[in-house]
Every structure is written in structure tokens, then in C-alpha cells.
Structure 1
Amino acid sequence: MTTPIKLYRHPKSGHCHRVELMLALLGLPYETIDLDLANGAHKAPDFLRISPFGLVPAIDDEGYVLADSNAILVYLAGTYASAPNWLPREPRAAAEVQRWLSVAADNIYAGPCAARLVKVFGVDLDHAAAVKKAHALFKVMEAHLHGRDWLATDTVSIADVAGYSYIAHAPEGGVDLAPYPTIRAWLQRIEALPRFVGMARSPTPVLA
């Protein structure tokens, strides 16, 4: 490919970062287009033609436009990954990947993502409930990752990319990762991958 993929994003959105991380890990050329969400850029008519629900991230790959972070991960891996591990086709492995994409859309969103939305962006959500959900998720993940390196299969996949951003930045939402050594080791394995790119960090609140 010669034309960079356009990534419409907010630089501190974990949903956007998981797409940027996937682009980087695959070594794909891309350009970021930061939207001023506070002033409604995501609701402008031009952007709604790209992302009808007015949500970031969205991509434009030489005229093919797609929104939703997990859908974009599936598209990028299926289109550009040279190794099958990113998006396995074997039914059981594919099902395991899909299970963790669902966790990213549900448990991660309701837990560490929501807690961070309160602390970083001032969103009016129940912070205590989000922290409780985050710890409930992390207890399951901590047990799941014992004796294994990756969430879904024996190798890194889009499941790990989908899970990384909000979990790595959970302390910004007041969720302590100290009790979860296997999760922290998993995060470090992702950060050690070639071409890894991080997300801009926000101040971490004092943990109670």
C-alpha cells in the first residue's frame, strides 16, 4: 500500500489507541486526524458520513471507511496481517478471540474505561461502580493469564490489542493494578512487541 490509512481519533481515547496500536504493530502507514470532540467535530456532517453514529475511531483506507474499534481491528488483521495469529480462522481459536473482543466491548468498557472517563474527562458516571466492575474483571483475567502469555491463543492476537489500552491506563481512573502481577506481565509483553506505540498518559489520581 502507498496511501496512508487515515485514522480519525481523540489522542486520549483507548478505543482510538487500540486501532493505532494495531496499525503500528502491522507496520502500516497511517496518519492521525484529531477531532475536537469538545466542540462537536464528531457530529459534523462530513464526519457522520464516515462514522454514522458520530463515534471515534474511524478509518479511511483508500475510500473504504469503517468505524468501531473492534471492527477495525478485524479489518486490519484480515486485510494486512502476514501472520494468521492476529485473526485466526480455526473455529476454536477464532471463538476465543471473539470472546475477548466481547469482553473489550462490555466488561472493559463498563469497568476500567468508565472509571477513566470519570477521572480524565469528567463524565458523569458512577465511579465506584466502575471501579468495582474493573476489579471483578481483573480477578478473572488474573486467573485466566496464569500459565499463559496471551488472552485468546498461544500467540498474540487482536484480542490482546483490544484489551491493552484501557487496562494499561486503568490507574488513571483510580483502579490499582498492583494486585495483578500476571496482568502487569501481560501488559509488558505487549509493550515489548516490535513497533509498539503507547497512548498519551494523563495524571494518575491518588488511590484510596
Structure 2
Amino acid sequence: MAGGPVKVYLDFLSQPCRALYIFLKHNKIPHTVQLVALRKGEHKSPDFTRLNPMQRVPVMEHDKFVLTESDAILKYLANTYDVAEHWYPRDPKRRARVDEYTAWHHANTRLNVVKVFMTEVLLPMMTGQPAEQKKLEQALQELDQTLKKMEEMFLKRQAFLCGDDITIADLLAVCEVMQPLGAGRDVLKNHEQLQNWKSRVQSALGEPFNEAHSFLFKLGAKKPKL
């Protein structure tokens, strides 16, 4: 029994928040959204800090059960609600492939995307100074190496990161690689295999993908394509 609807605390500039929102919308899971504007410091308010002492989004509340960390939340929802089995397979080996990527994701895909976005967008916004080109070039090189590993280690010749069907792994990954578009930068332009993967993921997710990324698309439209 799934219980009542979930309540999620999100900021759509956050990659994991977008992944969670897309999962909820695509799978028609009953939910409400409480926006938490990181740029306004709302994640540091006393009420939110009581909910999540780490002062990070996303956060989920479900029947008085509070959960943080997007990976844990997505897996909880996949186990709790009647969603398609391919999202987080029950077969131990197929599930292990999803866990393998999500364990790798945080210290690789996510870490290196954050470095690029922080250097190119957030720090210049906060300081009013242009991006440090040397640091940006280094961050881009590290991200490019990670993208190559995604192709070689996970995507290989299969349609999605963990097999022939879309999983939570693809959802987390696609929201990350979309993030640099907020600076007008397409980090996949030299990675044809990942470009094709992104198109398959976007097609599988449909309108929830576009809705979740609408603010990022608007932000990127104001920047020259890099």
C-alpha cells in the first residue's frame, strides 16, 4: 500500500530535484511540490533546517517519513509505488547495474558537472567577475574524461546506461548533463553516442522532461552556445 501522496521540496535549478520531479510526473505518482529557492537562501530557514539539517534539496515527506538524497528517494518511490519494473529492476543482477551507476554517479558525473557549472555560472553570478578560464578549462577536461567513461563503462553498445530500458540511472545522469546548458554550453557536442542516448531518454520521458527543464532552457537561451 503506497499510502498518501508525497510532498517534495525542490528547486528546479537543482539537477537531482529535476530528476525527482520528472519521475513523479512521468509515473503519475500523487504529489505536491514545495519550492525552495536556493538562490534566496530558503534552504537555510529554521523550518527547512528542522526538516533537513543538511540544508539541501530535494527532500521528500511521505506519511510522516522524511527522506533526503535523490538516489534514495527515487529508489524508495520505485519500491513503494506501482511503477514500471524497468525503472529499478527486481532482478538482483539488473538492479545491481543500476546501483553500480548511481554509486559511481555522485563522485564522477555529478561532481564534474557541478565543477563546470559552479565555475562558469554560479561563481560569476555571486562575485560579478568573469569565470576563471584556467579553472574552467580544467573542469571541462575532467568532465570530458567522465563523459568518455560513461560511454565506455556504462553505455557501451546498449540503448541506456544499464541495459535496453530506461532506469533511474539514466534519469539522474541526463539531468546532470543538461545542467551546463544554463550557460549555453552543450557538453555532449563531441560525444555522438551520448547525444543519441540523451535523445532516447528525452523521448522516453516526454513532456515532464521539458517541463522540468523549462527554466534551464530559458537561462541557456540568453547565453551564446559554447
1:167 Cα shift? 0.9
Match of 1:28 in 2: 29
User: Which whole-Å CA distance do the structure 2 matches of 1:38 and 1:176 have between them?
Assistant: 24
Aligned match of 2:164 in 154, 158, 173?
A: 154
Match of 1:120 in 2: 121
Would you say how many aligned residue pairs link Structure 1 and Structure 2? 207
More deviation, 8-17/190-199: 190-199
Structure 1 residues 188 and 44: CA distance shift in structure 2, 3 A: same
Aligned match of 1:170 in 163, 170, 180?
A: 180
Residue identity opposite 1:176 in structure 2: V
The TM-score, its normalising length taken from structure 2, stands at 0.81
Root-mean-square deviation (Å): 2.4
Match of 1:58 in 2: 59
More deviation, 138-147/65-74: 138-147
1:194 Cα shift? 4.9
Tell me if structure 2 keeps the 8 A contact 1:145–1:151: yes
1:84 Cα shift? 2.1
Q: Does 1:184 align with 2:185?
A: no
1:99 Cα shift? 1.5
User: Which whole-Å CA distance do the structure 1 matches of 2:205 and 2:191 have between them?
Assistant: 24
Tell me if structure 1 keeps the 8 A contact 2:109–2:146: yes
Structure 1 residues 95 and 55: CA distance shift in structure 2, 3 A: same
- Ranges in structure 2 where 5+ consecutive residues have no aligned partner: none
- The SS at the match of 2:12 is coil
Tell me if structure 2 keeps the 8 A contact 1:59–1:66: yes
Match of 2:102 in 1: 101
Tell me if structure 2 keeps the 8 A contact 1:88–1:94: yes
1:75 Cα shift? 0.8
Tell me if structure 1 keeps the 8 A contact 2:186–2:225: no
The TM-score, its normalising length taken from structure 1, stands at 0.87
Matched-pair identity in %: 26
1:2 Cα shift? 8.1
Match of 2:150 in 1: 141
Tell me if structure 2 keeps the 8 A contact 1:19–1:73: yes
